[in-house]
Amino acid sequence: MHLAQLNVARLRAPLDSPEIAEFVALLEPINKISDGSPGFVWRLKESEDDPQATVQHAYGDDLVINFSVWESRETLWNFVYRSAHLPVLQRRREWFLHVAEPYAVMWWIPEGHVPALAEGMERLELLRREGPTPRAFTFKDFHDAGDLLGGPGSSGGGDVLDGAAPSGGPYGSSEAASLPAAAEARK
């Protein structure tokens, strides 16, 4: 199993504004660190040619999305909190609005599964609606893959929402859309 993570952030100003320019400039270097980190598997990218392109979506122009897959909790943790990503994360309030509801979610996926953005947004809504469960959780309220599969002490739950089949496909698919780990800067 691999660990999928999605986090969202509402911009304080339009992406092309001077107030957000430093964040945009950090996208390329932080994405390079992410992509080269041990345990990194995949991330949604808008463009292979524009390292500063953010994910285009139908969830609002001011919403920045970061969506990636990692080999484990530890490898994601190491990137988020033990790399050059951390100083960017610590500056998140310069660029993003504070929100009271959860803005980041994790869940386990089968190796080789490329999650769709709609799947990630559904997991975030599940977390907001039900709180942490084996199907949608956070670093603070983490669930091991065994919890999902019915391991000791688990509540089961399956790995697919609403009975939908996973959308397979190879990692690195060009359906990707980029956002830096800097968008993780919503924490």
pLDDT digits (tens, 9 = 90+) for 162-174: 433 333 333 333 3
Give the pairing type, strands 63-70 and 104-109: unpaired
Q: Where do the domains of the chain lie, and which CATH numbers do they carry?
A: 2-186 (3.30.70.100)
What's the pLDDT tens digit per position in 50-92? 767 788 888 888 899 999 999 999 999 999 999 999 999 999 9
What pLDDT score does 148 carry? 67
What pLDDT score does 47 carry? 78
What's the pLDDT tens digit per position in 137-162? 999 999 999 886 665 444 444 444 54
pTM (2 d.p.): 0.79
DSSP string, 13-49: S-TTSGGGHHHHHHHHHHHHHHHHSTTEEEE--S-SS
